[in-house]
């Protein structure tokens, strides 16, 4: 029995040891840096979402085998890929980092050459760097919910891209779609200015496309333009729009199997159902997040009906739906809705800035933050209800007060009327006059002077005048003008008991100036043609072939559209230029060409495909005025002819489906060799003339693009940068602001430490002289204001710091109604300096702003 | 009668179709993808008889080739021997037998098969002209002749005059030896060759160097031997010309295209 007990105990010990061993195993899927740093080379998946990160952790380069990196829901504003080395990275998620302006991807190809998925949604991004095309392995790109107006044309070089989501942006055209031949899923919904006819034309010959998500224009009552009749899509999702009915031409699309209506208002249910019933090809209809239209019982054509998070106008109709139709219903929302809730915030590591010793000797009251005010700051009183959300606006600040934002002293939610008292301290002179506590005594005994980016005092009182506390569950959000936008301030709240500042989470800066410069930089990289919507439309070429009893097939070309005469001059801004392409026109019009080789199967398939595609695009889709030639996709492009003397033929080159194809051809002249040789010579001569004409035309357009178009584009760039940078459209859009949550009431500031070293010190004598020659007694307390740095410091009169080249105001109180502004000093023999001052009369009823005005009035 | 006529027609068609098939099939096997070019050796025609039965047709082949080159002497570097054209000419003489060589229309109808076969190879020219004719190998001086295998005086059993018939035994014994027909001399054969070339209107272009390559094949027609027929050789000459001969491309353009 004892042996059994021993064995039992041993087994338990063994299992516990095993458990402890497993618990010590380093993680491969880590959620914090600390966890991942235990065994950096073993980490393959790093999930750092919602950690309040302001930048990418420096340790990230140590994870050599990282495959996926999730940095979503943080506060990262830019990434410098040049400093990163993540060679194995496949997936990068940067979504919901709201501070990005441009997706600058310089160096990403060297950093992560095999990256295949980038999620950049919800980042307030305005433009995307063309560097993205260097990610040759990229298969999935999510740029949804941003502010993108232009995407670089180079996107067309992403040959492996399978999924592209550019929904909810401000895109106007997507010319690069022509080059994306492997695309399987495309989401272009909620781009109000996007021209669906052009998109349809671009997608016309894409065989691989499976899913298309769109938001039709309001003007399109049929939902879609006619061109979608022949677009190869299996699943069509219509999203966030209002339609009259479906375009009945979709019934001719044999590929279309599923139609999804996502938050769509069907205005004419009777017509919608009638047209749906005509679509014998559509087997499934899905309704999502919407009120389903009536007349469901009249639907007969589909096999499956699906409802996700829908409501019905008449539920009884559901009982009458044809019994052969399978119905699927999901009560829950399957749609990935927009992000809700706040990101979890944790402390991040302190920066390793080395701190120098205090260099300015302050007086004791300044250090203790107990300096006597000369005047009190004026206050703004607002009476607000505590149980409903409201907004308080002052000159420099706006407070977004949610419901139930106040607690009583006992910790209960206060629901009555609140008297909110706000004082703003936005000027260093006013700070000096009101004796604001501007020193932060750090834990290691240093006294840091604040350089202020903005300070305010918010207090709330109940009906009885009892002070209220903030409710941590419903924090008041403050948006305060940033006095020093170029700096990155921290957030501090004043502790009345310790008379010192407690540091808190840093505020989020609008960084508008930086945003504007970034936007302008990124817009400067966008081509003039893109930014102005300039279209250089080449001729539309058709290529056909005729089977011959002889082996070589005969090729014939047709020219359907384009300018017949070459352009001579483009004087003013022209959004569209139709070119003549004289050389291509010559090749197409002059001869029938014979293929000068034995035809392989590949060649035969190519010729068949071209012929088939040509037949598809040659139909007229221009059901919208002004659609022009641009809506017709060019099946073959860039037709060139080069004589190949080595093999005594010509090499005919053209681009089909983004691939350059070459065919050896000879002209079909018959007759004697003398006739043929003479004709070849004459023809080549005229071809050279046509080439010259085409080159001239090309040069003319290039010149136009570099001059008139570029000038026009530059103006547009500046205008757009201005407009884009002002997002979001607050009243004070042009002002920099700081945004933070008011976690404690009382005095709070957004400041940083001023550590400037004075150029010299001046010791004032006990007596100065005013402008009239009268003596003025110098008090012990002298207040110095450095206007450029927003710094106020009170020093002793025997060691007044002086900064050369900085705008400073030194003043002191003479009497309770008079202050003296130091205008200069005279060096005395005893080493002291005799200040020359100017007297300024003040009244105790004056506001700090008024006194400030008087002080500034003394300046020359 | 109608049935017989139809049967003959079908037979002719079958034979001709069979010949085309044979030509195409062998063209696939023989012709290499890249043409090779050789220089033509020069040979002067002599005044000696050309004994085709002992010497074969190769010497005549080389002679005609050399003569072609001598005609294009103004542009001596232009004309070369193309292996593809040689193979095609050989195939043509081998595969196609019959009246095509005499009937120009029939020969012209065959040109598509030459083109098709020619496209299998990459060569420096893209225009071909095919000529065919027969060359007489024995000279009867325009007089009557007969075929008699008994005397064994000459190799090809052709003798001048009328074949003696209805003679008695004595008369036969007293008969003088028959006069055999002569071979043509090389020079005479060359003259025949030029006559045919002239007829095909090729000399002018040849002289001006419009042709770049040539392929010649001469084959003695065995069906004309040991019969009361003048022995002939079937000759197929295929000329290749560069279509883009007149086009000049500047060096800068060449660089830009490469």
Collect all residues of chain B within an 8 Å Cβ-Cβ radius of residue A680: 243-244, 246-247
Q: State the nearest Cα–Cα gap between B198 and chain A, in angstroms.
A: 15
* Chain A residue at shortest CA distance from B256: A642
Subunit contact B247:A676, Cβ cutoff 8 A: no
Query: Does the residue A40 lie in any domain?
Result: no
With respect to residue A127, please indicate whether it lies within any of the assigned structural domains.
no
Instruction: Specify the number of domains making up chain B.
Output: 2
Q: Are residues B122 and B86 in the same domain?
A: yes
- Residue A171, judged by CB atoms within 10 A of its CB (0-12, 13-18, 19+), counts as buried
Other beta carbons less than 10 A from residue A141's beta carbon:
23
Contact between A641 and A649 under an 8 Å Cβ cutoff? The reply is no
User: What's the rounded Cα separation, in Å, for the pair A276 and A297?
Assistant: 12
- Say how far apart CA B185 and CA B191 lie, in whole Å: 10
B251 — contact with chain A (CB < 8 Å)? no
Give the CB-side neighbour count of residue A2, counting CA atoms within 13 A: 0
- Cα angle A382, A387, A392; round to 5: 30
**If phi over 0 gives left and psi between -120 and 50 gives alpha, with beta otherwise, what is residue A294?**
beta
**Token pair 């009345």 is at which residue?**
A496
Q: Which residues pair with B160 in a beta bridge?
A: B145
* Residue A768 and residue A742 in one domain: no
Rounded CA gap, A732 and A485, in Å?
Answer: 14
Residue of B72, B112, B127, B243 to mutate, testing the A interface (most A Cβ within 10 Å of its Cβ): B243
pLDDT of residue A496: 86
Decide if A140 is inside a domain.
no
Q: What is the pLDDT of residue A552?
A: 72
The closest of A499, A509, A501 to A478, measured between CA atoms, is A509
The beta strand positions in B79-208, using DSSP E, are 80-82, 127-136, 138-139, 145-147, 158-160, 182-183
Q: Residue A660: count other Cβ atoms within 10 Å of its Cβ.
A: 11
**CA atoms within a 13 Å half-sphere pointing along the CA-CB vector of A276:** 30
Closest-CA residue to B131 (of B153, B157, B111): B111
B129 vs A contacts (CB less than 8 Å): 673
Q: Is the domain of A496 the same as that of A555?
A: no
Cβ contacts below 8 Å, chain A against chain B, sum to: 70
CB contact A677 to B (< 8 Å): yes
Shared domain check, A489 and A374: yes
Tell me, yes or no, whether A498 and A381 share the same domain.
yes
Positions of chain B with pLDDT lower than 70, given as ranges: 1, 10-17, 73-77, 98-102, 251-258
Strands A508-509 and A737-742: antiparallel
Which of A689, A710, A728 finishes a domain? Answer: A689
- pLDDT, position A770: 87
In terms of domains, do A399 and A331 share one?
no
The SS3 of residue A183 is: coil
B129:A676 CB<8 A: no
What is the structure's pLDDT at A640?
92
Q: Do B246 and A598 touch (CB under 8 A)?
A: no
Cβ within 8 Å, pair B119-A678: no
Q: What pLDDT score does A679 carry?
A: 92
Number of domains in chain A: 4
Residue B37, domain member (yes or no): no
Pair (B102, B189) in one structural domain: yes
Whole-number Å distance between alpha carbons of A779 and A801: 16
Tell me: do A615 and A681 sit in the same domain. yes
Instruction: Please indicate if any CB of chain A lies within 8 Å of the CB of B123.
Output: yes
Judge whether B26 lies within some domain.
Answer: no
Domain that holds residue A781: 756-857
pTM (predicted TM-score): 0.65
User: Could you tell me which of B47, B64, B94 has the C-alpha nearest to residue B192?
Assistant: B64
Nearest to B124 among A647, A672, A674 (CB): A647
In a domain, B55, yes or no: yes
* CB within 8 Å of chain B, chain A residues 681-740: 681, 684
Cβ contacts of B98-102, under 8 Å, gap ≥ 24 = B98/B15, B98/B16, B98/B19, B100/B132, B101/B132, B101/B133, B101/B134, B101/B234, B102/B134
* Any domain includes A254: yes
How many alpha carbons fall within 13 Å on the CB side of residue A27?
12
Q: Are residues B54 and B80 in the same domain?
A: yes
Helix axes A582-590, A673-706, angle to 10 degrees: 150
CB contact under 8 A, A648 and B211: no
CATH code (residue B202)? 3.40.33.10
Within-domain flag for B251: no
The answer to whether residue A838 neighbours chain B at the CB level (below 8 Å) is: no
CA–CA separation, A403 and A384 (whole Å): 10
Q: Rounded to an integer, what distance in angstroms lies between the CA atom of residue A68 and that of residue A317?
A: 48
Predicted confidence at residue A681, as pLDDT, reads: 92
Q: Same domain for B126 and B158?
A: no
* pLDDT, position A331: 57
Whether residue B229 lies within 8 A of chain A, CB to CB, comes out as no
For residue B65, tell me if it sits in a domain. Answer: yes
Radius of gyration of chain A (CA): 37
Q: Is B241 on the interface with A (CB under 8 A)?
A: yes
Q: Which of A552, A646, A666 sits opposite B124 (nearest CB)?
A: A646
Nearest CB among B123, B245, B257 relative to A677 is that of B245
Length of chain B in terms of residues written = 258
Same domain for B108 and B217: yes
Contact B11, B4 (CB under 8 A): no
Note whether A477 and A569 are same-domain residues: no
CATH number at residue A506: 2.60.220
Is the domain of B107 the same as that of B147?
no
What residue of A is the nearest CA neighbor of B127? Answer: A673
Same domain, B238 and B132: yes
- Domain match, A233 and A302 both: yes
Check CB contact of A749 with chain B, cutoff 8 Å.
no
Q: Both B120 and B195 in a single domain? A: yes
Label the pairing between strands A833-841 and A818-827: antiparallel
Instruction: Select the residue of B123, B127, B249 nearest A673 (Cβ to Cβ).
Output: B127
- pLDDT of A117: 93
Residue A53: which of A71, A73, A74 has the closest Cα? A74
Contact A178, A155 (CB under 8 A): no
Domain boundary among B150, B165, B182: B182
Q: Which residue of B has its CA nearest to A669?
A: B243
Q: Does A600 touch chain B (CB under 8 A)?
A: no
Residue from the list A550, A598, A648 with its beta carbon closest to the beta carbon of B243: A648
Residues in chain A, how many?
860
Cα separation, B245 vs A156, in Å, equals 41
Q: Identify the residue among B118, B119, B253 best suited for mutation to test binding to A, counting A beta carbons within 10 A and taking the highest.
A: B119
Residues B177 and B54 in one domain: no
- H/E stretch holding A577 reads strand A576-578
Q: What does the pLDDT read at residue A515?
A: 67
Strand-strand pairing, A390-393 and B232-241: unpaired
Residue A234: which of A180, A185, A178, A299 has the closest Cα?
A: A185
Same domain? For A538 and A681 the reply is: yes
B120 in contact with chain A, both atoms CB, cutoff 8 A:
yes
Residues 606-665 of A with CB under 8 A from B: 642-643, 645-649
How do the residues of chain B divide into helix, strand and coil, expressed in percent and rounded to 5? 45, 20, 35
Q: Considering only CA atoms, which of A274, A232, A240, A230 is closest in space to residue A260?
A: A240
CATH code for the domain of A205: 3.80.10
Other Cβ atoms within 10 Å of A779 Cβ, number: 14
Give 10-residue mean pLDDT values along chain A (860 residues): 53 47 63 85 86 81 89 81 88 83 78 91 81 89 87 86 92 84 91 83 86 83 78 90 82 89 88 87 88 85 82 71 76 30 25 40 85 87 89 86 89 89 89 89 81 89 90 84 75 88 73 68 77 83 80 82 77 85 87 83 90 78 53 82 90 90 89 90 92 92 91 85 60 61 85 77 87 86 86 88 84 87 87 88 85 82
Helix axes B83-95, B2-30, angle to 10 degrees: 150
Contact A645 B247 (CB under 8 A): yes
How many angstroms from the chain centroid is the CA of residue A557? Answer: 46
- Record: contact B246-A643, CB cut-off 8 A: no
Among A701, A726, A750, which residue terminates a domain? A750
Q: Considering the domain boundaries, does residue B25 fall inside one? A: no
* Within-domain flag for A277: yes
Do A414 and A342 lie in one domain? The reply is no
B202 and B213 assigned to the same domain: yes
Residues B126, B207, single domain; the answer is yes
Instruction: Give which of A676, A679, A686 to mutate to test B binding, by max B Cβ within 10 Å.
Output: A676
Residue B175 belongs to domain spanning? 138-182
- CA A670 to chain B, closest CA, distance in angstroms equals 10
A152 in a structural domain: no
Q: Provide the token pair at A434.
A: 């009101």
A591 part of contact set with chain B, CB < 8 Å: no
Subunit contact A672:B257, Cβ cutoff 8 A:
no
B243 vs chain A: nearest CA distance in angstroms?
Answer: 5
Does residue A294 form part of some domain?
yes
DSSP 3-state of A164: strand
Task: Answer whether A766's CB lies under 8 Å from A777's CB.
Answer: yes
pLDDT of residue B78: 74
Question: Does residue A787 sit within a domain?
Answer: yes
Choose among A852, A854, A827: nearest CA to A839: A854
DSSP states along A217-237: -TT-TTSS-GGGGGS--SEEE
A268 and A297 co-located in one domain: yes
Q: Closest-CA residue in chain B for A675?
A: B243
Say whether both B127 and B207 belong to one domain: yes
**B117 within domain boundaries:** yes
- With tokens 């995407």, the residue in question is A151
In a domain, B17, yes or no: no
Specify whether A565 is located in the same domain as A494.
Answer: no
Measured in angstroms, the CA of A709 and the nearest CA of chain B are apart by: 29
């Amino acid at each position: 029995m004892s042996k059994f007990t021993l064995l039992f105990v041993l087994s338990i010990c063994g299992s516990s040891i095993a458990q402890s061993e497993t618990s010590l195993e380093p993680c491969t899927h880590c959620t914090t840096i600390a966890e991942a740093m235990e065994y950096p080379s073993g980490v393959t998946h790093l999930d750092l979402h919602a950690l309040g990160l302001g930048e990418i952790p420096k340790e990230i380069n140590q994870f050599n085998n990282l495959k996926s990196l999730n940095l979503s829901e943080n506060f990262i504003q830019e990434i410098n890929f040049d400093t990163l080395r993540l060679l194995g990275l496949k997936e990068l998620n940067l979504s919901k980092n709201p501070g990005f302006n441009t997706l600058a991807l310089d160096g990403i190809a060297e950093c992560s050459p095999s990256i295949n998925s980038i999620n950049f949604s919800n980042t307030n991004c305005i433009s995307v760097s063309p560097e993205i095309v260097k990610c040759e392995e990229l298969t999935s790109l999510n740029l949804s919910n941003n502010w993108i107006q232009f995407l670089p044309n180079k996107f067309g070089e992403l040959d492996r891209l399978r999924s592209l989501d550019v929904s909810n942006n401000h895109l106007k055209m997507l010319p690069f779609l022509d080059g994306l031949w492997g695309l399987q899923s495309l989401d272009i919904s909620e781009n109000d200015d996007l021209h669906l006819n052009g998109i349809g034309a671009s997608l016309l010959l894409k065989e691989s496309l499976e899913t298309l998500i769109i938001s039709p224009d309001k003007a399109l009552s049929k939902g879609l333009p006619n061109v979608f009749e022949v677009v190869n899509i299996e699943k069509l999702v219509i999203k966030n729009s209002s339609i009259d009915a479906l375009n009945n031409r979709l019934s001719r699309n044999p590929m279309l199997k599923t139609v999804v209506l996502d938050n769509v208002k069907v205005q004419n249910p009777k017509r919608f159902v009638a047209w749906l019933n005509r679509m014998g090809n559509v087997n499934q209809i899905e309704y999502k997040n919407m009120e389903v239209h009536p007349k469901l019982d009249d639907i007969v054509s589909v096999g499956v009906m699906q409802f996700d998070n829908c409501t019905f106008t008449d539920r009884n109709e559901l009982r009458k739906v044809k019994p052969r139709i399978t119905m699927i219903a999901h009560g829950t929302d399957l749609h990935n809705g927009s992000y809700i809730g706040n990101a979890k915030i944790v402390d991040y590591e302190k920066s390793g800035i080395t701190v120098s010793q205090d260099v300015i000797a302050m007086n004791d009251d300044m250090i203790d933050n107990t300096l006597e005010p000369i005047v009190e700051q004026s206050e703004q009183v607002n009476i607000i209800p505590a149980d409903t959300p409201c907004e308080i606006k002052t000159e420099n600040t706006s407070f977004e007060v949610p419901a139930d934002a106040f607690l009583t002293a006992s910790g209960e939610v206060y629901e009555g009327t609140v008297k909110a008292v706000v004082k703003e301290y936005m000027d260093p002179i006013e700070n000096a006059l009101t004796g604001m506590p501007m020193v932060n005594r750090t834990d290691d005994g240093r006294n840091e002077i604040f350089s202020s980016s903005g300070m305010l005092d918010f207090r709330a009182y109940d009906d009885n005048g009892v002070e209220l506390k903030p409710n941590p569950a419903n924090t008041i959000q403050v948006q305060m003008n940033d006095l020093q936008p170029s700096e990155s301030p921290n957030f501090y709240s004043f502790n009345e008991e310790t008379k010192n500042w407690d540091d808190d989470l840093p505020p989020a800066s609008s960084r508008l100036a930086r945003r504007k410069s970034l936007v302008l930089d990124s817009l400067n990289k966008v081509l003039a043609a893109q930014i102005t919507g300039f279209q250089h439309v080449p001729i539309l070429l058709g290529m056909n072939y005729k089977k011959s009893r002889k082996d070589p097939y005969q090729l014939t070309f047709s020219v359907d559209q384009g300018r017949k005469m070459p352009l001579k001059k483009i004087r003013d801004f022209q959004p569209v230029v139709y070119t003549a392409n004289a050389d291509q026109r010559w090749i197409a019009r002059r001869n029938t060409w014979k293929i000068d080789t034995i035809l392989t199967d590949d060649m035969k398939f190519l010729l068949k495909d071209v012929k088939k595609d040509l037949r598809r695009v040659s139909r007229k889709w221009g059901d919208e005025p002004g659609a022009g030639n641009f809506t017709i996709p060019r099946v073959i492009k860039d037709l060139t002819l080069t004589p190949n003397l080595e093999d005594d033929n010509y090499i005919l080159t053209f681009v089909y489906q983004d691939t350059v194809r070459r065919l050896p051809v000879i002209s079909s002249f018959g007759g004697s060799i003398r006739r043929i040789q003479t004709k070849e010579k004459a023809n080549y001569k005229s071809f050279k003339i046509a080439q010259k004409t085409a080159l001239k035309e090309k040069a003319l357009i290039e010149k136009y693009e570099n001059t008139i178009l570029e000038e026009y584009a530059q103006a547009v760039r500046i205008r757009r940068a201005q407009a884009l940078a002002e997002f979001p459209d607050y009243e004070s859009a042009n002002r920099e602001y700081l945004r933070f949550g008011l976690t404690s009431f009382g005095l709070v500031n957004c400041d940083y430490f001023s550590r400037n070293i004075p150029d010299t010190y001046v010791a004032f004598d006990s007596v100065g002289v005013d402008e009239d020659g009268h003596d003025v007694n110098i008090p012990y307390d002298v207040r110095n204001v450095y206007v450029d740095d927003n710094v106020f410091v009170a020093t002793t009169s025997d060691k007044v710091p002086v900064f050369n080249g900085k705008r400073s105001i030194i003043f002191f109180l003479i009497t309770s109604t008079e202050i003296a502004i130091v205008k200069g000093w005279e060096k005395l023999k005893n080493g002291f300096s005799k200040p020359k001052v100017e007297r300024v009369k003040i009244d105790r009823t004056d506001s700090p702003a008024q006194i400030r005005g008087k002080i500034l009035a003394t300046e020359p | 009668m109608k049935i017989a006529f139809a049967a003959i027609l079908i037979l002719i068609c079958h034979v001709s179709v069979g010949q085309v098939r044979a030509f195409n099939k062998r063209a696939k096997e023989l012709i290499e993808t890249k043409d090779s070019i050789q220089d033509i050796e020069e040979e002067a025609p002599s005044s000696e008889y050309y004994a085709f039965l002992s010497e074969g047709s190769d010497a005549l082949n080389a002679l005609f080739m050399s003569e072609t080159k001598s005609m294009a002497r103004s542009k001596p570097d232009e004309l070369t021997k193309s292996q593809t054209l040689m193979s095609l000419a050989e195939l043509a003489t081998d595969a196609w037998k019959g009246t095509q060589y005499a009937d120009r229309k029939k020969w012209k109808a065959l040109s598509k098969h030459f083109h098709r076969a020619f496209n299998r190879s990459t060569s420096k020219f893209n225009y071909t002209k095919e000529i065919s004719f027969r060359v007489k190998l024995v000279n009867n001086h325009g007089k009557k002749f007969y075929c008699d295998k008994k005397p064994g005086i000459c190799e090809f059993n052709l003798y001048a005059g009328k074949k003696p018939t209805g003679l008695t035994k004595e008369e036969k014994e007293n008969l003088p030896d028959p006069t055999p027909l002569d071979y043509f001399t090389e020079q005479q054969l060359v003259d025949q060759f030029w006559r045919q070339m002239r007829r095909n209107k090729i000399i002018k272009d040849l002289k001006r160097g419009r042709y770049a390559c040539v392929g010649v094949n001469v084959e003695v027609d065995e069906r004309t031997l040991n019969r009361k027929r003048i022995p002939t050789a079937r000759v197929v000459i295929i000329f290749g010309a560069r279509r883009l001969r007149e086009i000049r491309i500047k060096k800068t353009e060449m660089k830009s295209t490469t």
